Amino acid sequence: MPIVRSSLLPGVLAALLALPGCSLAGGDDPVPPEPSTSSYAAPPDVVAGVEQALRRRARAVVDANPEAFDRGVRGEAGFREQQRTWFANLRQLPVGELRYTVDPGALLRDGDDYWVVVEEHLRLAGYDAVPVVSRDRYRFRPSRRNPDRMVLTSVTDEAWERDNGVRPQPWDLGPVEVRSGAGVLGIFDAGSLPDAGPLVRSVERGIDDVAAVVPYEWSRSVVVYALSDPTFLASIPDVPGGDPDDLDGVAFPVTAAPGEEASAAYRFALHPRMLDRRGAARDRLVRHELTHVALGAHDDRAPVWLSEGLAEYVSAQPMAPQDRRVPARAVRAAEAGFDALPADDSFNGGEESETNYALAWFACEYLARSFDEATLWTLLDQLGAGGVDVDQLLRDQLRVGPKRLAQRAGELIVAEYGDPPPVVPPTPTAPAETAPATPSSVVPPAG
């Protein structure tokens, strides 16, 4: 699930010796004027003034000094209030590292104002492997009382942001409420705050459950977006199926910087409709998304059926067999018979999505029961090496082709959830050269 990236701007980056300073979307005017002049070599005193303004702004945040912060902000009352909200938001975050760079070559003069591209390098302590770089355009002007001192007057240039794929974080968009647990950083808002406690505890339990199954090293920590406002969820690019509103939750990589492939972290977001749905179903959804977080880049080259099947498999492990559920639609499809594993391009979205998830899950169940659980991770590792034909790998290593695997998975679904369930032989046959292995155990039918 790649993040949309903007291209690097030309120019030499001037590093600031600063800590925090991200800003709420919005400007000091209802619609800030569009810069119309061309970039030019900025006078050194202007660049230095911008750097000093950002340095003072950052220091005010680090020192929790709202008065000093306010002195660096000018413009209309609405903009100043937005900036105070951003200040309050950032003070709730575990800022481990934050610095700014600016691009003097991209500075624009607009009358007495100056637009400048600002890069923010923010690392959330305990959650990000490296700082996350985000880029935006700010507007400064000389202070009327002290012309040598630059003050911030806008953080919004909608056309530039649109052209450069700027996607602000929730703490940039409006008031947030941050709640933490063991390895959990929950981002809530006023509408979702009543559900914060139970959800944070669910994620804490989920981290332990997932860590007990997934064999890879991972941080065992996660940022969770649980907002009643769907704006941020809708901004996540390349979600499965293409429509965030169709998803109850989604895990996604946070790239270290625009134009880079490396990820600073994997996080997940829940749809607003899931926030007050406490219980086993939401707990399982949390474990599903946490599995994607734990896998990180390990499943980047895997077919979707294996990636999602593993997440379903892991999410179901803490549940008693009789509490595991498969949608009725998937049971009917299994009774009719499967003849192929789900394709990547049609896995999510549409009426078959539920069936695809169930088939992928039970393909993994079949492999784990026929061989052992380690087979799943070995298969994932082999696919992660790249240049591997999935179908051939299944035949060579497991002596089961994709068609037969789909059939066996469907038979297992029917055996456990069909009405009435068929009689399943208690003793499986051993794998043969021409036939796949038979499950070594069958879970009693769900009630």
In a domain, 8, yes or no: no
Here the CATH number for the domain that contains residue 232 is 3.30.2010.30
In a domain, 3, yes or no: no
Structure token digits, residue 65 = 């000094």
**Model confidence, pTM:** 0.84
How far apart are alpha carbons 1 and 361 in whole angstroms? 20
How far apart are alpha carbons 23 and 57 in whole angstroms? 11
Task: Looking at the structure, tell me whether residues 49 and 156 fall in a common domain.
Answer: yes
At 420 the pLDDT is: 66
In a domain, 314, yes or no: yes
In a domain, 33, yes or no: yes
Task: Looking at the structure, tell me whether residues 182 and 226 fall in a common domain.
Answer: yes
pLDDT per residue, tens digit, the chain (447 aa), is: 433 222 222 333 333 333 333 345 444 344 444 544 444 555 668 999 999 999 899 888 888 899 999 999 999 999 999 999 999 999 999 998 878 889 998 899 999 999 999 999 999 999 999 999 999 999 999 999 998 899 999 998 999 999 999 999 999 999 999 999 999 999 999 999 999 999 999 999 999 999 999 999 999 999 999 999 999 999 998 888 888 888 999 999 999 998 888 999 999 999 999 999 999 999 999 999 999 999 999 999 999 999 999 999 999 999 999 999 999 999 999 999 999 999 999 999 888 999 999 999 999 999 999 999 999 999 999 988 778 899 999 999 999 999 999 999 999 999 999 976 555 444 444 343 333 333 333 333 333
Domain of 229?
176-293
Task: Looking at the structure, tell me whether residues 119 and 38 fall in a common domain.
Answer: yes
In a domain, 39, yes or no: yes
Domain boundary among 164, 188, 213: 164
Task: Looking at the structure, tell me whether residues 153 and 18 fall in a common domain.
Answer: yes
At 24 the pLDDT is: 53
In a domain, 228, yes or no: yes
Within 8 A by CB and 6+ apart from 114, the residues are 42, 46, 50, 107, 108, 139, 140, 141, 150
Largest CA distance in the chain: 88
Domain boundary among 122, 141, 164: 164
First to last CA, the chain: 37
